[in-house]
Chain A
Amino acid sequence: MSGSLDSYLVLSGLLFAIGSFGFLARRNAISMLMSIELMVNAVNLSVVAFGAFVPKLQTYAAVIALIVIAVAAAEATVGLALVIAIYRNRRTPLVDEYDAMSQ
């Protein structure tokens, strides 16, 4: 089981589906950002899994995974700063109360 590529890809697909559910269903902006992190991690897991099983991709997959981790960290920084900036103006972290355009 741990020796086949399929099980890792199914695990990554499950993680991605959970992340997409959280992103679509949660009301809190920080919950949505956490779900995005879950999805980024799922994709990274599939990249590393391909690297571990396909000899041609081995080192390239690790390089891609490292760069994805760094970019995801940058994305988290900016996303959370945006949430804090909006919270300062609207006094709520709930995205469905950000309705300034409809007022």
Chain B
Amino acid sequence: MPISDTIPFSGIRWDDVLFLVLAAILIGSALMVVTLRDIIRCGLALTSSFAALAGVYVLLGNPLVAATQVLVYIGAVSVLILFAIMLTQTKNAPTRLAFQTQAWAAAIAAVVIAVVIAATVTATTWPSGGQRLWTSTSDIATLLFGSYVLPFEAVSVLLTAAVVGGVFLAHREAGDREEDQL
């Protein structure tokens, strides 16, 4: 049985409810990432903001990008960040000051950025079709492995280089201080 577009007896569209819930999770957990004192909790909040963003991608009719977001960000980048946090965590880190002394200036700058972007977006008439389109995965594949195959290969080379570079940077050399074993 198909589900109707609107919530029964209220006329509110399901899509709007989903958008509001996902946007609230996204903004809430993003705020937690930048304000929480304990950095492990920041990393977990970052994971939930990635998940909410994947939901927004589905809402935008782009399931392939949403799946990539889940695989790459939730599956790989979050784990990488949590590992890096645990490798660099010191015992007294959460009790110390989490913010720079000029954090108020950064807050003002961020509010200005948000207001300017919101004002620009709402004042501009975008050349949009007015309704969301469903992006088919086979079209993306045809384009990506057709005219965009060179950027695709360049990205694969870049990823290999980044992995090799990451291993080289993070591995401990024989001359490093012995008492500082991680």
Contact = CB atoms under 8 A, between A and B. Distances in A.
Contacts of A63: 140, 143-144, 148
Contacts of B48: none
Contact of B77 (A14, A22, A30, A73): A73
A41 B166 contact: no
A84 B87 contact: yes
B135 A93 contact: no
Size class of the A contact interface (CB-based, 8 Å): 35 or more
Contact of B100 (A26, A49, A67, A93): A26
Contacts of B89: 93
A48 B65 contact: yes
A40 to B, nearest CB: 10
Given A18-B110, A24-B100, A74-B159, A54 B33 contact: no
Nearest to B30: A18
B128 A54 contact: yes
A98 interface: no
A32 B61 CA distance: 31
Interface of B: 13, 15-16, 18-20, 23, 26-27, 30-31, 33-34, 39, 42-43, 46, 49-50, 53, 56-57, 59-62, 64-65, 68-69, 72-73, 76-77, 80-81, 83-85, 87-90, 93, 96-100, 102-103, 105-107, 109-111, 113-114, 117-118, 121-122, 126-133, 135, 139-140, 142-144, 148, 151-152, 155, 158-159, 161-163, 165-170, 172, 176, 180, 182
